């Protein structure tokens, strides 16, 4: 079925999508959230303090990272530009299975690539915590991350983040609004993590952990000697049961410390490390033991 004005809708969405270069050889996408230079993308797309942003008309800017939430995988950027073609956002709670979905991004170096499909559902997914995801049967590829997932009217309903099987997963637009309106917190650990389930000895049950995939240089995690491959189990007070538990443990402002328990190597001995938050020290503040 033809959609009246679909070409114009797609072109407007392209103009509201940006290309982001943030260190390394890869790139990602972002959405112009307001005409005065506010951009939204995935946290995992932003790998440097001053990422480069390219607009649809070819103009390039150096962006400032205003806030970053690696646990919801969102980042807020700001560029010095005005009168930009901002996207409009829809209420993601009103989405229904079967609705048309439009994804714009920059996969594999193809700038402004468009993909269409349908909404599969909205809600949490097993193994990904309690957060809701917009699940769509839309084909994505590396470079789509951070770009918009929109409805048939071109309104953003989510920020494309990852692929699970045949489904594209996007962070709902309502969650993006909550992120942008949240009070600032400097609880940044500086790691890329993924949830895993570990078998317990002499038991058929499994325990939850967060495997560290990457550690950002000079971050609190790096200064505390955490390494890729470490599995975070929890704090001294409480074991993690979801990504949100670590997010809550990191909340707050001002200089403070967080004592983490983790596994390394043969994963047989629980280790502990003290991480300095809020005001990272210029030298290694502690050593993982």
Residues annotated as catalytic are: 44, 73, 145
Phi, psi dihedrals of residue 223, rounded to the nearest 5°: -65, -25
- Of 34, 30, 33, 36, nearest to 17 by C-alpha is 30
Tokens of 69: 């939430």
Using CA atoms in the order 51, 53, 59, 62, what is the torsion angle rounded to 10 degrees? -30
Residue appearing with tokens 């409805």: 151
Q: Are 209 and 263 in contact (CB under 8 A)?
A: yes
DSSP conformational letter for 223: H
Residue appearing with tokens 């002499």: 202
Number of C-beta neighbours around residue 150 at 10 A: 30
Tokens of 248: 């809550």
- Taking the C-alpha atoms of residue 72 and residue 247, their distance in angstroms, rounded to an integer, is 9
- Taking the C-alpha atoms of residue 251 and residue 121, their distance in angstroms, rounded to an integer, is 30
Question: Which residues have C-beta within 8 Å of that of residue 276, sequence separation ≥ 6?
Answer: 220, 223, 224, 255, 256, 257, 285, 286
- Of 92, 59, 62, 93, nearest to 77 by C-alpha is 62
- Taking the C-alpha atoms of residue 154 and residue 101, their distance in angstroms, rounded to an integer, is 9
């Amino acid at each position: 079925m033809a959609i009246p004005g679909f070409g114009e809708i797609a072109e407007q969405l392209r103009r509201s999508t940006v290309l982001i270069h943030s260190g390394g050889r890869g790139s990602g996408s972002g959405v112009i959230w307001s005409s005065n230079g506010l951009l939204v993308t995935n946290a995992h797309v932003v790998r440097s303090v001053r990422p480069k942003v390219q607009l649809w008309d070819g103009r390039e800017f150096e962006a400032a990272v205003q806030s970053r939430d690696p646990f919801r995988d969102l980042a807020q950027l700001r560029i010095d530009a005005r009168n930009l073609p901002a996207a409009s956002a829809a209420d993601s709670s009103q989405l229904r299975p079967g609705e048309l979905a439009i994804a714009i991004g920059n996969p594999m170096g193809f700038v402004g690539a468009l993909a269409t499909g349908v909404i599969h559902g909205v809600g949490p997914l097993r193994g990904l915590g309690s957060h809701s995801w917009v699940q769509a049967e839309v084909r994505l590829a590396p470079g789509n991350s951070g770009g918009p997932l929109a409805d048939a009217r071109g309104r953003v309903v989510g920020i494309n983040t990852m692929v699970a099987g045949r489904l594209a997963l996007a962070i709902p637009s309502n969650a993006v609004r909550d992120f942008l309106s949240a009070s600032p917190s400097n609880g940044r650990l500086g790691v890329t993590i993924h949830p895993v389930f570990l078998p317990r000895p002499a038991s058929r049950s499994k325990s939850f952990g967060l495997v560290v995939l990457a550690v950002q240089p000079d971050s609190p995690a790096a200064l505390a000697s955490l390494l890729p491959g470490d599995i975070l189990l929890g704090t001294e007070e409480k074991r993690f049961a979801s990504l949100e538990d670590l997010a809550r443990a990191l909340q707050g402002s001002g200089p403070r410390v967080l004592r983490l328990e983790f596994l390394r190597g043969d994963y047989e001995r629980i280790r502990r490390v003290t991480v300095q938050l809020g005001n990272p020290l210029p030298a290694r503040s502690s050593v993982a033991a």
